[in-house]
Amino acid sequence: MTPAPVSRPSFRDALRAESPLQIAGTLNAYAALLAQRAGFSALYLSGAGVANHSYGLPDTGLTTLEDVLIDVRRITSRVALPLLVDIDTGWDDPAMTVREIAAAGAAAVHIEDQVPAKICGHLPGKHLVATEEMLSRIEAAVSGKPHDSFVVIARTDAAAVEGLLAAIERAKAYLAAGADMIFAEALRSLDDIRAFTSAVDAPVLINLTEFGQTPYFTLGELKDAGVAMVLYPLSSSRAAAAASLEVFSAIRRDGTQQAVIDRMQTRAELYDILGYQPPT
């Protein structure tokens, strides 16, 4: 089935309309529908989410561009909200990657400065490429933009590896190379965030992934610290995974789902989210 194309606001439109812009991580089209129902105006597809949930793999650079494109197309064909996509280190050809991601309906990407065998940005042991190599990645990615409204965000993991000042200097260089915005990964305090946003003349994204290095700051705290975008990449999927294991365990233990029925979405609620009217 080929869904009808949908029109959507740009990522820049969403950023102008909401400050800070809350970006909801969605693993698939149904999760995107749920985020839309909850009132989010921008969505995110996580590379870790694709690896973990679509392929049952760790986030160590094992998935391909085509693996990500499958989920991008499914989300964008169903939900008319701007989608930010994690393209890791850009694979072999960042320009082609951006062209393909944009053609699949996404509104923005972020590309990072880790080595290709990357790991989660909130784990120890990260290794970065030299600034010059990252600049080449950014320049290539920017060259693949189909139009000016498409956004390329440069992510830096340097704060945890080289220190905050080095992360700021890298961010400035990334902007000079053509990046539109900056993703500052794993900053540990509001003071660090404030120092970063004060020094970097572009919208800055902060990642509030759970169980990571950045505390669970409130939206108000982050706004006061100058943050333009707040990302919740895997919040709903973590909750869904925990609930799924609980339900599977109850069914296996009890031989019936009766004890956990009250924790499930009803058929009527499902159809409501899908916009489906069953025959009567």
Active-site positions?
44, 59, 86, 88, 110, 112, 120, 155, 185, 207
What Cα–Cα distance (Å) separates residue 23 from each residue in 202, 230, 254, 259? Answer: 17, 6, 39, 34
Burial class (CB in 10 A: 0-12, 13-18, 19+), 37: exposed
CA dist., res. 52 & res. 43, Å (int): 18
CA dist., res. 33 & res. 204, Å (int): 26
Instruction: Tell me phi and psi for residue 75, to 5 degrees.
Output: -70, -50
- The DSSP secondary-structure symbol of 128 reads B
Q: What is the DSSP string of 177-241?
A: TT-SEEEETT--SHHHHHHHHHH--S-EEEE--TTSSS----HHHHHHTT-SEEEESSHHHHHHH
Burial class (CB in 10 A: 0-12, 13-18, 19+), 178: middle
